[in-house]
Chain A
């Protein structure tokens, strides 16, 4: 409604003015986004190698698993924290600011910190779990076996990017009118019903957007894994971005690296479309 009203006032003149504001930004976008994409298509080579490239498929599968774990945990956690932080309580401003700290840290630096947390000799994670009686020795080599190495990468990523989700969800929650909750409350709906009948449906566009954002980001994960495991042990945390890097800088195969980035882009397109389609369909139902 409000959108229609805003558009109604545009004459050709306003449109021209509006475009003149947009053009510099669009040009910049074209320069940094479109040009590399076009170049990638131009220089891509070795498409016939893709079907027999075992490392690519293994890396893609690792990346898909990493993305699925990380994004789903981050969504749930982020939503829970956002719900908590929208309730008024003493010192809320401080907590809200503190929650953002992990997100503000550069990934490579926080990955170094997590490497110490996971250190097999003096890492604090093993020590904590030992104190709670959950492991038999404080010396646990988290990054030394395939399953726990992947879990360790996911945990570090969750720690780092849940705040981003929280931030998006908090803004989404702020847009839900309080009247709806009041009305539902008067009709006798409890907190659980209010969450599922009001919060979740109205938050769905934000949810979809946040998940697409995060999925795209974690699909390109590089620095975190690079620092933590280098893709090991036994290739169990090799991600597709590591493979692209190796092709460019270690194997000096720029053409094939371009091909791999196109594969990545295709995967992202499918994934994003999937998430958007999934959330939209439910909205209409």
Chain B
């Protein structure tokens, strides 16, 4: 549906970011981002200002919660405002925003030759209905963390398949002090990400490119059965995992109280920092998969798009081109630890010497796939969250849960 004049918005809005236009005569390009931890973005902007004194990049450092920032962009666009020229967006916002007509297609500027230099998953997550709406600048993908020391001591090779992980976890765990496997089990988007990796890693898919729903296919049922069994049958995961988001899982792993953890790359630096009980004892590898299958990662990550309401799309593109360049991405990595999206940077000697684990990380990111690119994804994900959570908490069998989810998703997709 399209938006009618947003008379209601003032009443729905809690806060609205808008600054006054400066009178310096410069063309202002504005975007909303999270807190600039480490100062990488500010450094990139400062370098850009040196090159382009005629442009003024205004980065609004918004709340850390990505959902809140999504709301802020949405409300601004619902009102047809030109507050933000650039849209700094999470990979999952893109289809929704593009479907509403809030984003400009970038294909004439972001050519296939340019796109070929980026990780394939990041590009796939930037395209919607045959057009490109986003230039990725930060890559992210789910992976498996494991306790190198514990596995080595027991003479166990790092697991490739789900069965190997479960066997190793059972052998090495000592609950409730040390658990085998922790993941994101709370009813929220993270649970769907974890589940997707297992489905893809089992040769399945949730929604195919023609919009077909495969949520209750055997591959998906089997994947959910693994996850449910981890909590309820094998007992390699604590009951409390149903309340875990990323940080709860990381805390447990970092305290040395879990053998395996599914998480995002950010946990690496924290687990390896001074004072961490597991410093130097951690390995990473692609998420485990079904026997005879190949691993997969759920793609996260951020990129720049241009708002349809922007009055300065050319200036916005000038900045985006710079901010996604090799040099700028390297600055962002050095200052803020942002994972690059350009393949070449994973071989950059400065980066490899500072982050030796980028070799394994690249393997993970090469297998990363975006969540189904569909404007109704938020609704689909919400439906999945409830039924996955119901299966994990034992309210339903995996079959019944996914059958119910599929029955709800089919009409929702048609909306």
Interface positions of A (Cβ within 8 A of B): 32, 35-36, 39-40, 42-43, 54, 118-121, 137, 139, 141, 143-146, 229-236, 238, 246, 248-255, 258
User: Could you list some 27 contacts between A and B, CB below 8 A?
Assistant: A36-B11, A121-B238, A137-B176, A139-B238, A141-B238, A143-B242, A143-B243, A144-B240, A144-B393, A145-B394, A146-B393, A229-B187, A230-B187, A232-B188, A232-B385, A233-B392, A233-B395, A234-B187, A234-B390, A234-B392, A235-B187, A235-B386, A250-B379, A250-B382, A251-B378, A252-B74, A255-B1
Q: Which residue of A lies closest to B251 (CB)?
A: A121
A251–B379 CB distance below 8 A: yes
A252–B96 CB distance below 8 A: yes
Count how many chain B residues have C-beta atoms less than 8 Å from C-beta atoms of the other chain.
42
Q: Which residue of A lies closest to B378 (CB)?
A: A250
CB contacts (< 8 Å) of A144 on chain B: these are: 239-243, 393
Judge if B387 is at the interface, Cβ distance under 8 Å. yes
A234–B387 CB distance below 8 A: yes
Judge if B78 is at the interface, Cβ distance under 8 Å. yes
Instruction: Report the separation of the CA atoms of residues A137 and B177 in the bound assembly, to the nearest whole angstrom.
Output: 12
Decide: A232 near B187, CB < 8 A? Known: A141-B239, A144-B393: yes
Q: Distance in Å from the Cβ of B78 to the closest Cβ of chain A?
A: 7
Instruction: Report the separation of the CA atoms of residues A274 and B67 in the bound assembly, to the nearest whole angstrom.
Output: 38
B12–A230 CB distance below 8 A: no
Contact of A36 among B8, B186, B187, B391 (CB under 8 A): B8
Q: Distance in Å from the Cβ of B388 to the closest Cβ of chain A?
A: 9
Decide: A233 near B393, CB < 8 A? Known: A39-B7, A144-B242, A254-B78: yes
Instruction: Report the separation of the CA atoms of residues A114 and B91 in the bound assembly, to the nearest whole angstrom.
Output: 32
Q: Which residue of B lies closest to A139 (CB)?
A: B176
A43–B243 CB distance below 8 A: no
Instruction: Report the separation of the CA atoms of residues A141 and B389 in the bound assembly, to the nearest whole angstrom.
Output: 14
CB contacts (< 8 Å) of A258 on chain B: these are: 8
Q: Which residue of B lies closest to A142 (CB)?
A: B243
Q: Which residue of A lies closest to B10 (CB)?
A: A36
Q: Distance in Å from the Cβ of B245 to the closest Cβ of chain A?
A: 9
Judge if B396 is at the interface, Cβ distance under 8 Å. yes
Q: Distance in Å from the Cβ of B415 to the closest Cβ of chain A?
A: 9
